[in-house]
A and B are shown apart, each in its own frame.
Chain A
């Protein structure tokens, strides 16, 4: 490993030699020294080993309560810490260490922690933070993420916000930690729009609702007068598109969640279903029923021009764009049973991609493009699964009496869907599952809930 010695030495010396004469002298001396070193130090070999198997487990992370700048800040500091801890735990990728095990008490946010104390309890990462209310009433939140074994800070940030916004700050900090440790974007600072269902089974009141990804801050968007279905977020604006029965026919609507303004999309004679935005937010694709057939249409939201994309004597529905906007996956029974097809965004070249047993429906293209999630009915069970856009690599993530309507987290790693509990008292509930299929979690909602749609990251 002589070469390495040499390289390292040269690098060290380089900054010194700024003038010509000095350079040459230094170089000469260096050469001499290096030559001497090269022959005097025992040569050692470089042992190379390959590690091809690991031990995938949640990362133990310690999140002691954030330091409070003043007495009254202690409450919010504790709350923020709790939200971060819950977020990371629910992701399935982290195990927050029990705070009773903590040896060191973090009291000074500006000093480096005693890493030995955190190593002992086997925390691999440590989050410290400080919350202070500024004289102007704003909340200042700071955090640092430490690599315990390296004894280094991995990242650190600070935010200012209004005190009511403390939850969002907690989500943003969670995302920063998640991203730094996993190498993927987080998904905590997001919202879910869903259909809230109350009342008896045969007469459910269905309202559009929106909440934080963790179930907090529920807000209702419609009053329950109309039956609503399949809400979808615009990837670029504060708009939602959904389907509602106003009278007998279902229609596709556009709703601005800030202003509450809503309008019908397209001016079709028949029923319209399954709307979804294009990735640029400029178009909505949906299916339009005409007689016994349904075909897929795209509408440009600015010009309001519609384009017919499929033209088959079958039921084509549930279109979903690829994230690059160049292809569309949809379901169709043109081959005899309900299967998934992929076509170009202009409707050309449809190719069937699902070939397994059972019926496939509600395909959704992952925001990162690598997978398509779907619902599959097979042997009386509803499965939520994923496959690659070419139809290969089909995997089932979860199954049960009734699972439906998958929606992707913006990082393409977690899916949310609704699961129906059978029985008179039963109803739909929201669940999430990650791509491993192991981290299945119920999502808290005020009552029964169906048809979730995950927003893009808010920040």
Chain B
């Protein structure tokens, strides 16, 4: 009896001990390897507004001042494109010039980086430390815009730049308007092929928006008029005239949706040509998707 008890307890203890040692504790849930991608949900409108930048932007710019050969001072006057007009009103005078002198640092600037101008948005380069500022001699001046993409070895394939690779746009006055946008762009452009919104300036967008809005008289009497959202896609030529027939990408069903779609099409047709758009950015605005949303008008 006692032997039995002893054997039994010993055996139990042994089994428990064995199991404690041999059943490994689960590994800690390790997520360190995951790359997190910062995502902001912003409307396109907000996005352009954000990327339009803020005057004091230069503050963080200077420190980073990654690139830029020192010798580029002239760049200073590199005039900011029209984009400024609108913003200026709201903001203090042009801060950009300042950044220029900051530059000296990053000597690695030599990295050719033909893609530089393509990279839609000039990232702010908060992570200054990151070397390899892909910089274009010419444009650098006005701001330290360089695609931060840290890992970016010269020849390394960067999926975020596919659009850039395909872009044959002849050299042009550098991605203007980027100046102030620096800080935010870094996130906004994440991998999105269309992220070069940043390259069309706020005032250019506003021009287009106003132009179309003037001609848009949505049907407002229908019962769910505020839900009658219509998306129209149009193709423009260099003169800002419609090419082919603008078409509806998305609209509400029923006769109300049809009337809303017609009103949107009438708007884009009536207000052509959109001839104040910058020629050098033709690639960006040659296809436009206009989203007509009457909900705010009807509140």
Q: Measured between C-beta atoms, what is the minimum distance from A118 to chain B in Å?
A: 12
Contact segment of A180-188, A214-222, A351-359, A449-457? A180-188
Decide if A43 touches B163 in the complex (CB within 8 Å).
yes
Report the nearest A residue to B45, measured CB to CB. Answer: A50
Decide if B288 touches A49 in the complex (CB within 8 Å).
yes
Decide if A45 touches B259 in the complex (CB within 8 Å).
no
**Measured CA separation A405–B197 after assembly (Å):** 55
Main secondary structure of the interface of B (DSSP, over half): helix
Given known A-B contacts A54-B213, A56-B297, A49 and B196 have beta carbons under 8 A apart: no
The one of A39, A48, A181 in contact with B262, judged by C-beta atoms closer than 8 angstroms, is A181
**Measured CA separation A370–B226 after assembly (Å):** 14
* A248 is an interface residue with CB less than 8 A from chain B: no
Decide if B194 touches A46 in the complex (CB within 8 Å).
yes
The one of A49, A59, A154 in contact with B217, judged by C-beta atoms closer than 8 angstroms, is A59
Q: Measured between C-beta atoms, what is the minimum distance from B209 to chain A in Å?
A: 5
Report the nearest B residue to A154, measured CB to CB. Answer: B262
Chain A 154-171 interface residues, beta-carbon cutoff 8 Å to B: 154
**Measured CA separation A270–B207 after assembly (Å):** 70
Q: List residues of chain B with CB within 8 A of the CB of A53.
A: 213, 296-297
Q: Measured between C-beta atoms, what is the minimum distance from A409 to chain B in Å?
A: 11
Report the nearest A residue to B231, measured CB to CB. Answer: A48
**Measured CA separation A45–B286 after assembly (Å):** 8
Decide if B291 touches A51 in the complex (CB within 8 Å).
yes
The one of B167, B254, B296 in contact with A52, judged by C-beta atoms closer than 8 angstroms, is B296
* A70 is an interface residue with CB less than 8 A from chain B: no
Decide if A42 touches B167 in the complex (CB within 8 Å).
yes
Given known A-B contacts A42-B283, A47-B287, A52 and B293 have beta carbons under 8 A apart: yes
Decide if B216 touches A47 in the complex (CB within 8 Å).
no
* B208 is an interface residue with CB less than 8 A from chain A: yes
Decide if B270 touches A124 in the complex (CB within 8 Å).
yes
Decide if A54 touches B217 in the complex (CB within 8 Å).
yes
Report the nearest B residue to A93, measured CB to CB. Answer: B221
Q: Measured between C-beta atoms, what is the minimum distance from A79 to chain B in Å?
A: 28
Decide if B167 touches A43 in the complex (CB within 8 Å).
yes
Decide if A49 touches B262 in the complex (CB within 8 Å).
no
Report the nearest A residue to B43, measured CB to CB. Answer: A50
- Number of B interface residues in the complex (CB < 8 A): 59
Q: List residues of chain B with CB within 8 A of the CB of A56.
A: 217-218, 220, 297
* A303 is an interface residue with CB less than 8 A from chain B: no
Q: List residues of chain B with CB within 8 A of the CB of A45.
A: 163, 193-194, 196-197, 283-284, 287
* B214 is an interface residue with CB less than 8 A from chain A: yes
Decide if A43 touches B266 in the complex (CB within 8 Å).
no
Decide if B208 touches A44 in the complex (CB within 8 Å).
no
Q: List residues of chain A with CB within 8 A of the CB of B216.
A: 51, 54-55
Report the nearest A residue to B195, measured CB to CB. Answer: A45
The one of B166, B209, B265 in contact with A49, judged by C-beta atoms closer than 8 angstroms, is B209
**Measured CA separation A149–B217 after assembly (Å):** 14
Chain A 130-151 interface residues, beta-carbon cutoff 8 Å to B: 147, 149-150
Decide if A183 touches B266 in the complex (CB within 8 Å).
no
Chain B 200-228 interface residues, beta-carbon cutoff 8 Å to A: 200, 205, 208-209, 212-223, 228
Decide if B209 touches A51 in the complex (CB within 8 Å).
yes
12 contacts between A and B (CB under 8 A): A42-B167, A44-B283, A44-B286, A45-B163, A45-B283, A45-B284, A48-B289, A50-B45, A55-B215, A180-B259, A182-B219, A183-B259
Top 3 closest A-B pairs, CB basis?
Answer: A183-B259, A183-B256, A43-B166
Query: What 6 additional pairs, Cβ within 8 angstroms, besides A50-B44, A147-B262?
Result: A46-B287, A48-B197, A49-B290, A53-B297, A56-B217, A180-B258
